[in-house]
């Protein structure tokens, strides 16, 4: 498995739990991130949330705990209805290693939207709590990723195979080692890493808000039996084959390929909550701001103690990614953030492969929402309302940045850097 897959696993699950690192660490934080049951975890989280307004360390730990419970809300909802991952890089948010459910509950479109709303709203709470931590707070919390996890199957327990280390290993298909002989996955998380996690919360909120801004019922009714094959979706009895013929990978059977094509074809979504599409842009801009704050804090660090995301001055390979960070890569990342911000603010236009002289104004794409048709956006007609004359991003603009990351290494660093 490539480093990209390893980073996708770590980036998607956003591994920023925290634990005790001395007398200043709230006892409830240790209880939170070493809890073996949901009840014990939730009790510790409630204690931290109460203390958070007066205690930056408690707020930091509480924000991380709230992030993890957001992931747990999503995983639990998927498990309840018999989610089966397509195991495809094309659907990264659908690769959670949710255990099989032999007796899933039926799922409706309204229930699926409710799962997304709960996930999104808990992320918002996490971002707000992490944002309350003062910039100059002295944070230093150590965590072994084999000691913290989430309840993937709603049985009330947080088992060893539900730890962050186990989840990463499942997502990366073995490129993240676990067990007695595996390298230590212990990190010391500091104030900079709080910005990192908060930025990922904003990123995931933007994805959820984009979905929720639209009515995607036709896609749900016509293709989601690919993801929930036994949840009594409308076409289950017609299109879902016997278990022996299903296959595990999206490309391992004809029926999964057919349903994926159906899914793409049916992404023609009317706008039902336009404010959510506008919010998605604001959340992406906030993610960019937080990434800048993250790197400002990282570059001000003078220690080199089990860094989750090291700066150029903190030498040594990261034990999870096997990568080191140099000054050229930091500068290239900051240039990437500037480019992304210019696109989201409409100062630079996004090119389209078949249109010359005009580009897509991404600010208007979010702030003046019209029905979203994926295929027509790719072929051209769907983005026609957002075309403008102006400065258009060129392939050279992006190629220059990619070269600093070794070409194909850009995605790996981007998932790690946030």
Do 207 and 238 belong to one domain?
no
Say which residue the tokens 């991380």 belong to.
Answer: 64
Do 123 and 44 belong to one domain?
yes
C-alpha span between 187 and 306 (Å, rounded): 5
C-alpha span between 59 and 407 (Å, rounded): 39
Do 384 and 411 belong to one domain?
yes
C-alpha span between 72 and 70 (Å, rounded): 5
- Other beta carbons within 10 angstroms of residue 267's beta carbon come to 17
Domain that holds residue 382: 288-302+326-417
Residues 56 and 36: beta-carbon distance below 8 Å = no
**Positive/negative CA dihedral, 291, 92, 159, 129:** positive
Q: Which of 148, 183, 165 is nearest to 319 (CA)?
A: 183
Phi, psi (5° rounding) for residue 186?
-115, 130
Do 53 and 18 belong to one domain?
yes
C-alpha span between 100 and 241 (Å, rounded): 17
Do 147 and 45 belong to one domain?
yes
Phi, psi (5° rounding) for residue 11?
-70, -40
Query: For residue 172, what pLDDT is reported?
Result: 65
C-alpha span between 63 and 126 (Å, rounded): 5
Inside any domain, residue 148: yes
Inside any domain, residue 282: no
Burial class (CB in 10 A: 0-12, 13-18, 19+), 61: buried
Do 10 and 35 belong to one domain?
yes
Inside any domain, residue 319: no
- The three-point CA angle 233-239-245 to 5° equals 115
Q: Which of 323, 308, 294 is nearest to 14 (CA)?
A: 308
Among residues 212, 228, 252, the one where a domain terminates is 212
C-alpha span between 208 and 120 (Å, rounded): 6
- Other beta carbons within 10 angstroms of residue 218's beta carbon come to 15
According to DSSP H, which parts of 172-273 are helical? 191-212, 217-223, 236-239, 254-265
Inside any domain, residue 312: no
CA distances from 100 to 40, 96, 153 (A): 25, 12, 8
pLDDT tens across the length of the chain (418 residues): 444 344 434 443 333 333 333 335 689 999 998 999 999 999 999 999 999 999 999 999 999 999 999 999 999 999 999 998 766 555 555 667 889 899 999 999 999 999 999 999 999 999 999 999 999 999 998 888 888 999 999 999 999 999 988 887 777 655 555 555 555 688 899 999 999 999 999 999 999 999 999 999 999 999 999 899 999 999 999 999 887 676 655 556 788 889 889 999 999 999 999 999 999 999 999 999 999 999 999 999 899 888 888 888 988 777 777 778 888 889 989 999 999 999 999 999 999 999 999 999 999 999 999 999 999 999 999 999 999 999 999 988 888 877 877 755 677 777 777 7
Do 74 and 199 belong to one domain?
yes
**Whole-structure pTM value:** 0.89
What is the DSSP annotation of 48-63? HHHHTTT-HHHHHHHH
Query: For residue 1, what pLDDT is reported?
Result: 40
Do 110 and 46 belong to one domain?
yes
Do 173 and 44 belong to one domain?
yes
C-alpha span between 56 and 41 (Å, rounded): 19
Q: Which of 190, 81, 207, 89 is nearest to 143 (CA)?
A: 190
What's the total number of domains in the chain? 3
- Hey, which residues does 52 pair with through a beta bridge? none
- Other beta carbons within 10 angstroms of residue 322's beta carbon come to 12
Do 95 and 155 belong to one domain?
yes
C-alpha span between 87 and 99 (Å, rounded): 13
CA distances from 273 to 158, 220, 295 (A): 36, 18, 34
Inside any domain, residue 315: no
Do 251 and 183 belong to one domain?
no
Inside any domain, residue 314: no
Inside any domain, residue 17: yes
Do 204 and 246 belong to one domain?
no
Residues 48 and 26: beta-carbon distance below 8 Å = yes
Query: For residue 177, what pLDDT is reported?
Result: 53
What order of strands is seen across the sheet that includes strand 387-388? Answer: 350-352, 355-360, 387-388
């Amino acid at each position: 498995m490539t480093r990209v897959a390893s980073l996708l696993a770590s980036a998607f699950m956003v591994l920023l739990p925290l634990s005790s690192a001395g007398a200043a660490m709230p006892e409830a934080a240790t209880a939170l991130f070493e809890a073996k049951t949901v009840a014990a975890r939730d009790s510790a989280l409630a204690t931290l949330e109460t203390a958070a307004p007066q205690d930056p360390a408690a707020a930091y730990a509480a924000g991380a705990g709230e992030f993890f419970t957001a992931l747990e809300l999503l995983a639990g909802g998927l498990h309840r209805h018999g989610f089966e991952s397509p195991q495809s890089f094309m659907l990264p948010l659908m690769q959670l290693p949710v255990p099989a459910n032999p007796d899933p509950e039926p799922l409706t479109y309204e229930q699926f939207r409710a799962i997304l709303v709960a996930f999104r709203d808990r992320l918002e709470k996490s971002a707000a709590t992490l944002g309350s931590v003062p910039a100059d707070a002295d944070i230093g919390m150590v965590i072994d990723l084999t000691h913290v996890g989430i309840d993937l199957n709603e049985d009330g327990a947080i088992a060893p195979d539900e730890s962050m280390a186990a989840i990463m290993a499942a997502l990366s298909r073995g490129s993240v080692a676990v067990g007695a002989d595996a390298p230590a996955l212990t990190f010391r998380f500091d104030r900079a890493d709080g910005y990192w996690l908060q930025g990922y919360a904003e990123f995931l909120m933007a994805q959820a808000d984009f979905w929720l801004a639209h009515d995607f019922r036709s896609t749900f009714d016509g293709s989601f039996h690919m993801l929930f094959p036994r949840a009594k979706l409308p076409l289950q009895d017609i299109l879902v084959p016997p278990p022996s013929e299903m296959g595990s990978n999206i490309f391992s059977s004809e029926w999964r390929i057919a349903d994926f094509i159906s899914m793409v074809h049916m992404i023609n979504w009317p706008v039902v909550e336009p404010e959510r599409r506008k919010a998605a842009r604001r959340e992406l801009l906030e993610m960019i701001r937080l990434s800048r704050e993250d790197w400002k804090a990282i570059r001000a660090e003078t220690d080199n103690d089990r860094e989750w995301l090291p700066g150029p001055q903190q030498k040594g390979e990261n034990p999870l990614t096997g990568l080191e960070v140099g000054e050229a890569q930091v500068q290239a990342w900051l240039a990437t953030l500037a480019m992304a911000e210019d696109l989201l603010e409409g100062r630079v236009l996004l090119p389209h492969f078949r249109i010359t002289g005009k580009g897509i104004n991404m600010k208007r794409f979010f702030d003046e929402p019209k029905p979203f048709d994926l295929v027509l956006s790719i072929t051209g007609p769907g983005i026609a309302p957002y075309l403008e004359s102006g400065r258009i991003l060129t392939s050279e603009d992006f190629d220059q940045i990619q070269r600093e990351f070794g070409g194909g290494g850009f995605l790996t660093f981007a998932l790690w850097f946030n």
